[in-house]
Amino acid sequence: MVDDNELNRLRDIATPAPGTDAKARAFEAAMRAYDLDEKTSPAAQGSANGLRLIERAQKLWSEIMQKKLFATPAIAGLVALPIAGYATIYMLQEQPFHSGGDEKITETLADKPTAKAPVTLGPITVAEADKQKKADVDAESRAAAEALAPASPPKPESNALGGLVQQDMLARNAPEPSPREALAGGSSTTAPAADGAAQIGRVPGTVAQSRLMAQPSTAPADQMLLPEQNRDRVEDFKTNPVRAALEDPVSTFSIDVDTASYSFVRRSLREGVVPQADTVRVEEMINYFPYDWKGPDTASTPFNSTVSVMPTPWNEHTRLMHVAIKGFDAKPAEQPKANLVFLIDVSGSMNEQDKLPLLQSAFRLLVSKLRPDDTVSIVTYAGDAGTVLEPTKVSEKDKILNAIDTLTPGGSTAGEAGIKEAYRLAQKSFVKDGVNRVMLATDGDFNVGQTDDDDLKRLIEQERKTGVFLSVFGFGRGNLNDQMMQTIAQNGNGTAAYIDTLAEAEKVLVEDASSTLFTIAKDVKIQVEFNPNKVSEYRLIGYETRALNREDFNNDRVDAGEIGSGHSVTAIYEITPKGSGGEKIDPLRYGQASVNNGGVANADEYAFVKIRYKLPNEDASKLITTPVTSANEVSSFNQASTDQRFSVAVAAFGQKLRDEDATAKFGYDKIVEIATAARGADPFGYRSELLSLVRLASALGGNR
């Protein structure tokens, strides 16, 4: 046993100063140790490129010492600052601080190749190098010990933190996720090490970085992902203004039988979102519903018009002039043969459950409605266009259905090429005196070839001269190009619908198949001339995107809307009778003499309604006229027919969603009251559905 006195003597002996040779040998040993560590120390697991922060520091020190930058002790004190800055930069690159709710996903350093930034440092002494090496080893030991230690779940610092600290502790032994896995919120499992200890290095960065990652965020944990970008394109338009009948007595527009807006509004409300104003086209909401207007008696007159004047429920000083058109309803035996080309978007943007899969189910329903001697072709487009099915008789239904079922999404969207190929096939199997129609199903995302709306409009205008009509069916949300769909439908002798559910597909393609497919009149235009002696002001409800110039009415070269077999079209004007006190526009100082001179013809008429149309296979238009007099009036709103009152309720709802001045003080409860009283026969539940949508809009506080 050693004597305590001897130990005391040894303790008091001064340590001899190291000689030059000893210093050199110590330095060489240190260099060998660094070189060996650099060759054998593996990169962090789960990180194919780059090194951990501690390993980068070690490598930097190795490079410094290899260059023998240690001869000047006076500069050694400056070494700590750039080294700390170097480490801090990499730490912040791997896990930046978050601010507010504007979160950004950045690439971590572990996902990049290690970059050797040029660093200029002063020389350091061996003592400083040894001291720094010891500090690095101690830091790495502490990091390893903390990573290996069994951690108990810490208490979350706040609700906003949402368990991130706990997740960080539990993730220490998990493999580092890829950027895609990080966005998806998933991770892979960790295999234990051979000795049973958890593997180290799975999570990028050091313990300090883990603490940075655990800083509280202002966003909840379930909102840390980037929000899905909404690229829906909808045409902007302004609500029709009130016009003075004396200054501007003529109103001209194209009829519209599209229904896309109603379906889009319905989906928005069911998802708990008040629809954007420009997605609400009031005329499409009104015309979504079937009405029992009086139709023509024979096919020689394709439609009949009924005009009524009634009090306005939301303004006691005005009246509504209700124009209803009903198309001739061709019986199935009288329907011509159909030559249909399904033009189907199979681009990558269609790879969602409410897009291509729903589209396939919808077209299967349509095929079941067709007759055996009808013809179906299928063209698809993604990066380019291709013919999936040459013209095939519906008697070979299994072949058609199999072609539909085998469609898969992928690629960009060459819509122009698809349109050209579809029209080529339609002309190839053209049926004289029959139905020749391209049926385009898409989310509207054209990004290859002609993508500009005006270019597509010109293309469709050129193709419509072949006698082939067009139907456009929109699917999905987030990428819907409603503006483009409306453009090509309105300029291709076509119609547009939005299909958000299989029930809507059944309505459009099965229940309304006759009106969807079989056109009885094309280029249908309406022109109304108001009598300033009876009407001070007027306002057309809806049809903003269908407005025509006054001179377009008599120009047969100007395209307009189509009416299908049995289709109904409704247009509503809000008019201000002269002297009612509801005028919004001051009268002209010098404009009254020409009206009050007693020589005005037809002074007792409210207005004169003119409808111009063409038969499907003709290029010359025909004219129908209807004078509107006191004989068309009903004394009270409740005396109007059930269908008229329900259509007015829909018009009020659409205006309310658009936040129009006319219905600003007209509550949703009043709309529900009118629609409930006028629900009438509702075999498919469409009107009951409207009532639920009005209540949803009210609950969401939409434009109260």
pLDDT at residue 689 is higher than 60 = yes
Do residues 136 and 254 lie in contact, with contact meaning Cβ atoms separated by under 8 Å?
A: no
- Is the pLDDT score of 320 beyond 50? yes
- On whether both 477 and 537 belong to a single domain, the answer is no
Measured from the Cβ of residue 677, the count of other Cβ atoms closer than 10 Å reads 13
Distance (Å, rounded) from C-alpha 181 to C-alpha 160? 22
- Out of 54-68, 538-552, 599-613, which region has the weakest mean confidence (pLDDT)? 54-68
- How does DSSP classify residue 551? G
The pair of structure tokens assigned to 585 is 């526009």
| 663 in a structural domain | yes
**Residue 482 pLDDT:** 83
Percent of the chain topping pLDDT 90: 43
Rounded distance between C-alpha atoms, residue 299 and residue 390, angstroms: 34
Write out pLDDT tens, residues 156-187.
443 333 333 344 333 334 444 443 333 333 43
Whether 503 is in a domain gets the answer no
At 453, which CATH number?
3.40.50.410
Domain co-membership, 363 together with 325: no
- pLDDT-derived band of residue 153, with 50, 70 and 90 as boundaries? very low
Do 91 and 142 belong to one domain? yes
Chain CA centroid to CA 89, Å: 39
Cα angle for residues 21, 27, 33 (degrees, 5° grid): 140
Judgement on whether residues 436 and 553 belong to the same structural domain of the protein: no
**Residues 327 and 351 placed together within one structural domain of the fold:** no
Residues with Cβ within 8 Å of residue 542, at least 6 apart in sequence: 240, 281, 282, 283, 284, 286, 571, 572, 651, 654
Burial class for 319, CB neighbours closer than 10 Å (0-12, 13-18, 19+):
buried
Domain count, the chain: 3
pLDDT tens column, 68-80: 444 454 454 555 5
User: Which pLDDT belongs to residue 344?
Assistant: 93
Q: What per-residue confidence (pLDDT) applies to 381?
A: 86
Indicate the pLDDT class of residue 319, thresholds 50, 70 and 90.
very high
Give the pLDDT band (50/70/90) at residue 209.
Answer: very low
Which of 426-440, 445-459, 586-600 has the highest mean predicted lDDT (pLDDT)?
426-440
Contact status, residue 168 vs residue 213, Cβ threshold 8 Å: yes
Phi, psi values for residue 487, rounded to 5°: -60, -50
Which pLDDT does position 568 carry in this prediction? 92
pLDDT tens per residue, range 90-103 = 455 544 444 444 44
Token pair for residue 611?
Answer: 């409808």
Higher pLDDT, 123 or 564: 564
Domain co-membership, 558 together with 694: yes
Half-sphere exposure of 280 (CA within 13 A, CB side): 26
Residue 203 has pLDDT above 50, yes or no: no
Tell me what pLDDT residue 420 has.
86
The answer to whether the beta carbons of residues 430 and 465 sit under 8 Å apart is no
- Asked whether the beta carbons of 523 and 621 are under 8 A apart, the reply is yes
Angle, CA 310 vertex, CA 305 and CA 314 arms, to 5°:
125
**Where is 525: in which H helix or E strand?**
strand 519-530
pLDDT of 571 > 70? The answer is: yes
Q: Tell me, yes or no, whether 585 lies in a domain.
A: no
Q: Are strands 435-442 and 469-475 parallel, antiparallel or unpaired?
A: parallel
Query: Hey, how many other C-beta atoms are within 10 angstroms of the C-beta on 145?
Result: 10
**Which CATH number do you get for residue 639?**
2.60.40.1230
Please give the residue range of the domain that contains residue 632: 243-331+520-579+602-699
> Would you state the pLDDT for residue 49?
47
Position 84 scores a pLDDT of 54
Provide the 8-state DSSP code for 109: G
Q: For residue range 363-377, what is the model confidence (pLDDT) as tens digits?
A: 999 999 999 999 999
Residue 511 in any domain: the answer is no
Q: Checking DSSP bridges between strand 315-327 and strand 385-393, what pairing results, if any? A: unpaired
Band of pLDDT at residue 284, cut at 50, 70 and 90:
very high
258 and 321 in a single domain? The answer is yes
Determine, yes or no, domain membership for 1.
Answer: no
State the Cα angle at 216 between 210 and 218, rounded to 5°.
140
Which residues is 685 bridged to in the sheet?
none
Q: Are residues 392 and 484 in the same domain?
A: yes
The predicted pLDDT at position 106 comes to 37
Describe the crossing of helices 686-699 and 668-677 by its angle, rounded to 10 degrees.
170
Residue scoring higher pLDDT (510 or 210): 510
pLDDT tier, 318 (very low <50, low <70, confident <90, very high otherwise): very high
What distance in Å separates the CA atoms of residue 123 and residue 71, rounded to the nearest whole number?
Answer: 5
Encoding tokens for residue 674? 């009118």
Residues 365 and 447 in one domain: yes
3-state secondary structure 288-335: CCCCCCCCCCCCCCCEEEEEEEEEECCEEEEEEEEEEEEECCCCHHHC
Q: What integer pLDDT is reported at residue 529 of this predicted model?
A: 97
Q: In sequence order, what DSSP letters do the residues of 402-417 get, joined into one string?
A: HHHHT----S---HHH
527 in a structural domain: yes
pLDDT at residue 120 in the model? 40
What's the pTM value of the predicted model, to 2 decimals? 0.67
Are residues 317 and 206 part of one domain?
A: no
Burial of 182 (0-12, 13-18, 19+ CB in 10 A): middle
Average pLDDT, the chain: 76
3-class SS shares of the chain: helix, strand, coil, % to 5: 40, 20, 45
Residue 431, exposed/middle/buried by CB under 10 A (0-12, 13-18, 19+)?
middle
Same domain, 146 and 221: yes
Residue range 16-43: average pLDDT? 66
Hey, what are 677's tokens?
């009283």
| Alpha helices per DSSP H over 528-615 | none
> Which residue, of 440, 468, 490, is where some domain finishes?
490
pLDDT band, residue 132 (cuts 50/70/90): low
Which residue did the predictor score with more confidence, 417 or 121?
Answer: 417
- Residue 21 scores a pLDDT above 80: no
d(CA 497, CA 490): 12
Q: Is the pLDDT of residue 682 over 60?
A: yes
Distance separating alpha carbons of residues 451 and 381, to the nearest angstrom: 14
Assess contact for 647 and 542: CB atoms under 8 A.
no
Q: Which residues pair with 496 in a beta bridge?
A: 472
Question: Would you say residue 10 lies in a domain?
Answer: no
Out of 35-44, 340-349, 657-666, pick the least confident.
Answer: 35-44
Rounded to whole angstroms, the Cα distance separating 160 from 488 reads 48
- 258 lies in the same domain as 281: yes
Say whether pLDDT at 672 is over 70. yes
Among 494, 439, 435, CA closest to 461: 494
User: Does the residue 591 lie in any domain?
Assistant: no
pLDDT of residue 121: 39
**Tens of pLDDT along 263-275?**
999 999 999 999 9
Give the dihedral sign, CA 656/662/663/664.
positive
